[in-house]
Amino acid sequence: MRCFCGSSIGCIGRRNAILMFLIELTLKMAMTAALVVVASVAAERSRPFIGAMITSLPSAAGAVYIILALEHSPAFIAASAVGTVAANAAVAVFAVTYVGLAQRHGLAASLGGAIAVWLICAALLHAVAWTPLSASLLNAVVFSLTIPAARKFATEGPRTTKMPITPSDLAWRAATVAVCVAIVTTASHSIGSFASGMFAVFPIVMASFIIILHPRIGGPAAANVLARVQLPLLGLWLGFLAVHYLAVPAGVWWSYAAGLLIVCVWNGLLWLHAAAGRKA
């Protein structure tokens, strides 16, 4: 018996391909959602400085890159990392924009304004042919401006929040993250390596953090954490720079390991410096 396309074997093959695609997509979404939810909840349960380091970790980006590695060549991953390095500067601008807006405005205006700025930055970045050197110079210039701009809003305080996270909080957060990652990884074949790298670091964890905390503890208190992400984001820049240079000669997975090690070592040094400052 033949189906409407004229070939029962062809239809079965297409159905199997669609089924495998849906299974893979579901696994991608589930893995990413789990990583990001754990990271964001941990950030909300920590002191502002620790929360900032957690929100700056490549949890969502790491999950996206794992999926990209399963579907693309090492050269694609290396090129994507340049997009991520360039977009890391946009994340810094996103954070400092939210911090400034949150002092006087509500959730919609503060987060909406920050996301709009990130999207504008992403559009401008996509219009330029970036190299590892030029993307690094961009980060150097941007962070020289955002670090002092955000520092004045970082104040000492207690743990970020002790308010309970409800099941609905976790559900919508997981769904939002999963959908974003599914879009980026599925579209990666058509949008190219640079755009895939850029959207891999769309600040979904920071946005999730903001949506939960801003209406509960107020904009200035939530901004106190985002004001501290600038220095940890420097480690993200260096980590993905390592991915770019190592993905082809050393292999994608070794480049990921090196990049993650750099991020963790950088954050560890920041933590030791902060601990020494508290003891002094």
For residues 105 and 84, give the distance between their C-alpha atoms in angstroms, rounded to a whole number. 30
What b/e sequence results for 117-138 when a residue is b if at least 16 CB atoms lie within 10 Å of its CB, and e otherwise? bbeebbeebbeeebebeebbeb
Q: Each residue of 2-42: pLDDT tens digit?
A: 454 555 555 555 665 555 555 555 655 565 566 556 655 66
Task: Judge whether 27 and 63 are in contact, CB under 8 Å.
Answer: no
Per-domain boundaries in the chain: 26-275
Burial level of 2, CB count in 10 A (0-12/13-18/19+)? exposed
Q: Each residue of 173-225: pLDDT tens digit?
A: 666 666 666 666 666 667 778 888 888 888 877 887 787 778 777 788 888 87
